[in-house]
Amino acid sequence: MYLSTGIFQDIAEENFQKMMTCFHSRQKHYPANEIITTYGSQGSRIGIILEGEIMVIRTHYDGRQTILEHLEPGDIFGETLSVIPNSISLIQVISVRPCLVQYIDYQCLIRRCSKACPWHSALVNNALRLISQKAVHLGERLEVLSQRTTREKLICYFSLASFHSHSDTFLLPFSLSTLADYLCVDRSAMMREIRKLKDDHLISIVRRQVTVFFDRSTPSDVRETHC
Amino acid sequence: MYLSTGIFQDIAEENFQKMMTCFHSRQKHYPANEIITTYGSQGSRIGIILEGEIMVIRTHYDGRQTILEHLEPGDIFGETLSVIPNSISLIQVISVRPCLVQYIDYQCLIRRCSKACPWHSALVNNALRLISQKAVHLGERLEVLSQRTTREKLICYFSLASFHSHSDTFLLPFSLSTLADYLCVDRSAMMREIRKLKDDHLISIVRRQVTVFFDRSTPSDVRETHC
DNA sequence: AAAAATCTGTTGCATATACAACATTTTGAT
DNA sequence: ATCAAAATGTTGTATATGCAACAGATTTTT
């Protein structure tokens, strides 16, 4: 199994197996709703999601949960990339649907390779893209959480979701219950604000299908330069 | 000027000038309190802070401000790394103190170099480290903002600050006013919670000097592997 | 098909928070 | 040294939010 746009992009299939060995890489399938890993328990592996859907969830000592990340194919996770030294909360990576994950060793990746393997460079290049993408995702998450009120968080989240789906109408990737955990607010308070948004004719929401009636964010220009 | 642990680490000084040209790289000094850039206006440059201190600030349409990032030498910034498509808010990068910034072109960095310059690989390696570090910082920021109450945000922030300074006592990197913008809460409400934390003997705070009386987070083990 | 579990939607209530306004202290500029 | 600006610290009040508890709808499991 080989994801053409992923970490092994631009690497000839014949080198694939060698690299799998060199970078302690392996692939693993997971059924739905399985604990893939618990932070604190594993070393410097990073995982790249090839198929499926994954959530990184923090469970507080008092039972409250926060959805730290919601990941899809092409996204990556790993303790090394999000070392949050916190002894009182438990951070778990959980499969929402059946998943296929590719692992590589972060230390192997980041170290200067004394053998200067010709493929190392391509791999690092790809990793750079994936990690940049992660930074962008985290930045968007930050944008949502930095909103002061629940209403603003909802508008910000819906606006981003609408932008990403290229449409005014889109499906929520999770239940309203889970959305509250994602926005870090109380569910009932969130339901109240959703009702107000409906009353104000800013959104329409039936089940997980949301339509926004405000302008969604416009993408900034993508400029191209050459090296 | 040349930062040994930065983006040009492990690159011979003699190649330095060539690379500066190849990657459209240049360095620039800024005085304190200057707008370094406004997101939306520039292309795919990323900046690496060599000296000084920088804040990334979002100004809402209603005048409210949020400190999105607080950056120090070795940290990086750039629109490409945090494209938040948002038309109603202004995002500015501002120097807190006199700064020296190194710029390189992100597209140059991320593209596969047809010439396969021997130094490109080393540069990408270094960029990978810097961007990973940024992901970690964003993750920590997320940890703070995902706390539900102002009290929890304060404790989480102080705990992280204490951890990073390897001490129970540390100096805040900015004023209490700015801290409120960083935690995304109202200043007066924050002051009230700080007073409560003092009353509960959990912290002591005189000016910008904070001492925490609860256990700060313990670092997770750093394991080493070889490639 | 029945039962269990989860999700949705709502409400009352106590509390936390935002907002506004103010006095005082500290910092920075001239 | 003087003045202006910013930061600190406080309080009252209206509102938003968290919390608990509940009923009905929907989904999943058995």
pLDDT tens digits for A178-210? 999 999 999 999 999 999 999 999 999 988 899
Q: Chain B neighbours among A 196-225 (CB < 8 Å)?
A: 215, 217-220, 223-225
Q: Which 8-state DSSP code applies to residue B215?
A: P
Give the CA distances from residue A126 to residues A45, B109, B125, in Å, rounded to whole numbers and listed in that order: 16, 11, 11
Percent of chain A with pLDDT over 70: 84
CB B128 within 8 Å of CB B142: no
The pLDDT of A99-108, averaged and rounded, is 88
Stated in angstroms, how far is B188 CA from C21 C1'? 12
Alpha-carbon distance of B131 to B136, in angstroms, equals: 9
Please tell me the predicted confidence (pLDDT) of residue B129.
Answer: 87
Q: Chain A neighbours among B 125-154 (CB < 8 Å)?
A: 125, 127-129, 131-132, 134-136, 138-143, 145-148
Please tell me the predicted confidence (pLDDT) of residue A227.
Answer: 38
Alpha-carbon distance of B157 to B150, in angstroms, equals: 10
> pLDDT confidence of B202, banded at 50, 70, 90?
very high
Which of B58, B87, B125, B182 to probe the A interface (max A CBs under 10 A)? B125
Residues in chain B: 227
Please tell me the predicted confidence (pLDDT) of residue A114.
Answer: 55
Nearest C-alpha in B relative to A184: B146
pLDDT tens digits for B47-97? 999 999 999 998 887 788 899 999 999 999 998 777 666 666 788 999 999
- Chain D: positions less than 7 Å from a protein CB are 6-12, 16-21, 27
Q: Chain B neighbours among A 35-64 (CB < 8 Å)?
A: 39-40, 43-44, 58, 64
Q: b vs e for B165-199, b when ≥16 Cβ sit within 10 Å of the residue's Cβ?
A: eeebebebebeeebbbbbbbbeeeebeebbeebee
Identity at B182, one-letter amino acid code: Y
Choose between A120 and B114: higher pLDDT: A120
CB B126 within 8 Å of CB B9: yes
The pair of three-digit structure tokens given for residue A138, joined into one six-digit string: 């985290």
Residue B10: left if φ>0, alpha if ψ -120 to 50, beta else—which one? left
Strand pairing of B203-206 and B209-212? Answer: antiparallel
pLDDT tens digits for B114-132? 555 667 777 888 888 899 8
What is the biggest distance separating any 2 CA atoms in chain A, rounded to whole angstroms? Answer: 64
Please tell me the predicted confidence (pLDDT) of residue B20.
Answer: 73
Please tell me the predicted confidence (pLDDT) of residue A14.
Answer: 72
3-state secondary structure of A84: coil
Give the CA distances from residue A62 to residues A97, B57, B62, B127, B150, in Å, rounded to whole numbers and listed in that order: 27, 33, 36, 39, 17
The H or E element spanning position B187 is helix B187-199
Residue of least CA–C1' distance to C19 = B186
The pLDDT of A11-34, averaged and rounded, is 80
Please provide the average confidence, as pLDDT, over all residues in chain A.
Answer: 83
CB contacts, 8 Å: B140 with chain A:
84
